[in-house]
Amino acid sequence: MSWIISLVISFAVCAIVTPLLIPFLKKLKFGQMILEDGPTWHAKKQGTPTMGGLGFIFAIAVASLIVSRSAQTLFVVIIGTLFGAVGFVDDYIKVVKKRNKGFSAKAKFICQTVVAFGAAIYMFLVNSHAVKIPFVAGEFNFGILYIPFVMFVMLATVNSVNLTDGVDGLASGVSAACGLFFLVAAIKLGYGGVAVAVAATIGGVLGFLIYNFFPAKVFMGDTGSLYLGGILSAAAVMMGLEFSLIIAGFVFLFETLSVIIQVTSFKMTGKRVFKMSPLHHHFEMCGWKETKIVGVFTLVTLILAAICYIGLK
């Protein structure tokens, strides 16, 4: 039951550290800059401290390393931290250099690709290159194609979680719900080190959610969202559950698809499918309160997580 200890420690550390971090971020003037193309009422969030993801990153690292230093735990935490570092640089440029878009999309993607490539190479050397197929007692061996496959899964996940972080508490709630599947999967499949890291992630995110729930006192920033995407994708890759990640993380996936659909439709027909993208903004424009969006999206993720668990063979 080491994962329980990990979860409790991470929750406690994050719940204690975050309120100490918020005034520090305010003092450094690390306030969120609101995109002009988002909902107009989001303008009131201008100046809310960002980069709060540093709180749960610290908590997760402390809890994980206290409980376990296995290769599994270290892989998940390190990959998450490296992606979080990319997000930190992006946030720093936004809040210090006052460039709302952060550093260039090309530079950001290159940095993410380097991290994903390193993770893929490591897993190629230590893994069987086999990926479990949900609801089927079998695996698919990618061979050398395992490397680009893992890279795609990681890049898609971290950027999808990043897109989801647009409503108070949304990325936190959905990540915790998605992480729950990987926790029970790790326990069932015997990945104790992964269980410790994921349990710490759930605890840290829940501790952060106390201050990130509407109305948010702090945002996680790209620092936190890229970190969470890295943790979830690393856990999935370590256990060969990449296809399950598509199901459990469908909310993340559809947030990205909504942007792709919106852009494609507008370019081809001049019409928009959604009132605004990503998807959570569409529901905001439909009159949904942020708390309702978080509740519904998290509940959907919990249902999908349960379906994924049933599909474990």
**Which residues form the domain of 70?**
2-310
Rounded Cα distance, 165 and 88, in Å: 15
The reported pLDDT for the residue numbered 130 is 86
Averaged confidence pLDDT in the chain: 92
The reported pLDDT for the residue numbered 275 is 92
Cα atoms found within 13 Å of the Cα of residue 269, Cβ hemisphere only: 7
Domain count of the chain? 1
Give the rounded percent of residues in the chain with a pLDDT score beyond 70.
93
Task: Please answer whether residues 162 and 286 qualify as being in contact, where contact means their C-beta atoms are separated by less than 8 angstroms.
Answer: no
Do strands 130-132 and 139-141 pair parallel, antiparallel, or not at all (unpaired)? Answer: antiparallel
The reported pLDDT for the residue numbered 98 is 66
The reported pLDDT for the residue numbered 137 is 81
pLDDT in tens, 15-74: 999 999 999 998 877 766 555 455 555 656 677 898 999 999 999 999 999 999 999 999
Contacts of 58 (CB under 8 A, 6+ apart): 13, 14, 17
